[in-house]
Amino acid sequence: MPFYHTLGQIPPKRHTQFEKPPGPAGAVNLYYEQLFGTIGFEGMSSLLYHVHRPTMVKAVLGSVDTTPVLAVEKNILSRKLIGFNLEPVQADFLESRVPLLLNKDVLIGLAAPTRSTTDYFYKNADADELLFIHRGSGKLRTLLGTIPFEYGDYLVIPRGMIYQIEFDAGTQPRLLYVESHSPIYTPKRYRNQFGQLLEHSPFCERDIKRPQNLETHDEAGDFLIKIKKQGALHSLVYATHPFDVVGWDGYNFPYGFSIFNFEPITGRVHQPPPVHQTFQTDAFVVCSFCPRLYDYHPKAIPAPYNHSNIDSDEVIYYVDGDFMSRNDIAPGHITLHPGGIPHGPHPGAMERSIGKKETQEYAVMVDTFRPLMLTEAGLQIDDGKYYKSWIE
Ligand SMILES: [Fe+2]
C-alpha cells in the first residue's frame, strides 16, 4: 500500500544495531533485520525486526502439485458458474480453494471453508492475493499484524506474506479469491506523484484497514509453513515461530478495504465501468459495483449499453442485491464474458431500468487482459445455457 505504516518497536536508524533486552553478559544480542519487498529493491518494501533469524529452515517435507486441471483452454462461450453449488468442505481457507478460471497472469476461484487454520502457516511466493469476503468474519493473522474482516471486505495480501486465517465460530465463510502474478495496487489515476489518493478517488486512506496488534512469539520448535511457488505447495519446517517480529515499518503490508466504503461515481448519463475500478495490476483490473443513484438525464438509460470487450475477458461475481443489467442472477453466481463477443443487458433489462432511481447491487468484476481458461471444477458448476440467454 503506498503509504507509510509502522507497528511495534524499531530502531531510530535503519541498518543499525537494534539490541534485545539484556541477555548473558558479553553476548551480542541483536534483533534480525529483514528487508521485505516484492520487486527487487525498487518496489514498496518494509523493514522487519525478528527475534530469530527468518532463514532457519529445519526440514523440507515434500511438495504437492496444485496445478488446476483444465477443461476448456480456448473459450468462446459466455458462461454462468453457480458458485454456491460448491458445498462447504471440511477444510480451511487454503484446502477449500477451488480454482475456476485462470490464465498465465491470474487465477480466480472460490472457497467455502468450515474451519480456521491452526496447525500451519501459509505463504504464496507466486502471487499477490486478493480475497473478497462474501460470507463470514474473522481475522487475517500475518507476521506484520492482524486485520479483522467481515462481509464485504477485500483483503490484499502481497506475495511472500506469511499468514493464517481464523474464522469466527458460527459463521459459514464464502470467499472469492484472486491470485495475481503482478502486484495489486490501487488505480494509478487516483494517486498523485507521492502516492496519496486524490480527491476524485472513490476511496481514501481512511478507508484502508491496516494491520494492527502485532504478535511477537519467541518460540523455538517445529513450525510448518506451506509455501506456494511455481504452482506447487512446498511444506517446510521452520525452527522458530514465523510471527516473531517485534516491530516493522514501511510500505509493504497487507490491508483490508470494505466494498461498503467504495463511494460510487455517477453522472447525468451512463458512466463506463472504469468508474467502478478499485484495484489495478498489469494484467487485470478489479471493479466494485455498489448501490448508487442512477443517471439523472431526463432521457437517461441506466442499464449499460452493449459493449465489445475485444481485448479482455470480463468476470463478474455477484454478491448481493438485484443486478440490474442481467436476468436470473443470484448471489454467488459468476458470469464470464470472453473477449470476442459483445455483451450487454439481458432482454427487458434496458426497458425496466428506465425511470428507476437507484440500484442496490453489489458485485465484484475482474477484467483480465488475456483470455481465461476454464477448469474442470469450473465446468462442473457451469449452467451450460447462459450463452443463449439473450435470445428472446
Ligand atoms: Fe461489461
User: Grid coordinates standing for 234?
Assistant: 512446498
Find cell 478499485 and name the residue. 278
Residue 273 domain-assigned (yes or no): yes
Output the known binding site: 307, 313, 343
Distance 78 CA to ligand 1 centre (A): 12
Beta-bridge partners for 336? 79, 315
Q: Each residue of 171-226: pLDDT tens digit?
A: 899 999 999 999 999 999 999 999 999 999 999 999 999 999 999 999 999 999 99
What is the Cα–Cα distance from 143 to 166, expressed in whole angstroms? 14
Query: Which pLDDT score, from 0 to 100, does residue 392 have?
Result: 83
Residue 249 domain-assigned (yes or no): no
Q: How many domains does the chain have?
A: 1
Distance 192 CA to ligand 1 centre (A): 28
What would the mean pLDDT of 272-297 be, rounded to a whole number? 96
Residues spanned by the domain of 271: 263-388
| pTM exceeds 0.85 for this model | yes
The mean pLDDT value of the chain amounts to: 95
Residue 154 domain-assigned (yes or no): no
Distance 344 CA to ligand 1 centre (A): 7
Residue 369 domain-assigned (yes or no): yes
Residue 221 domain-assigned (yes or no): no
What DSSP designation does 377 have? H
Query: Which pLDDT score, from 0 to 100, does residue 24 have?
Result: 66
CATH code for position 287: 2.60.120.10
Query: Which pLDDT score, from 0 to 100, does residue 283 have?
Result: 98
What would the mean pLDDT of 261-278 be, rounded to a whole number? 95
Q: Which residues contact 188 (CB under 8 A, 6 or more apart)?
A: 280
- For the chain, how big is the Rg over CA atoms in Å? 22
Residue 305 domain-assigned (yes or no): yes
Distance 314 CA to ligand 1 centre (A): 6
Residue 315 domain-assigned (yes or no): yes
Candidate from 22-26, 68-72, 339-343 with smallest mean pLDDT: 22-26
Residue 293 domain-assigned (yes or no): yes
Output the known binding site for Fe cation: 307, 313, 343
Output the known binding site for homogentisate: 343
Angle CA 136–141–146, to nearest 5:
95
Distance 367 CA to ligand 1 centre (A): 9
Residues classed as catalytic: 270
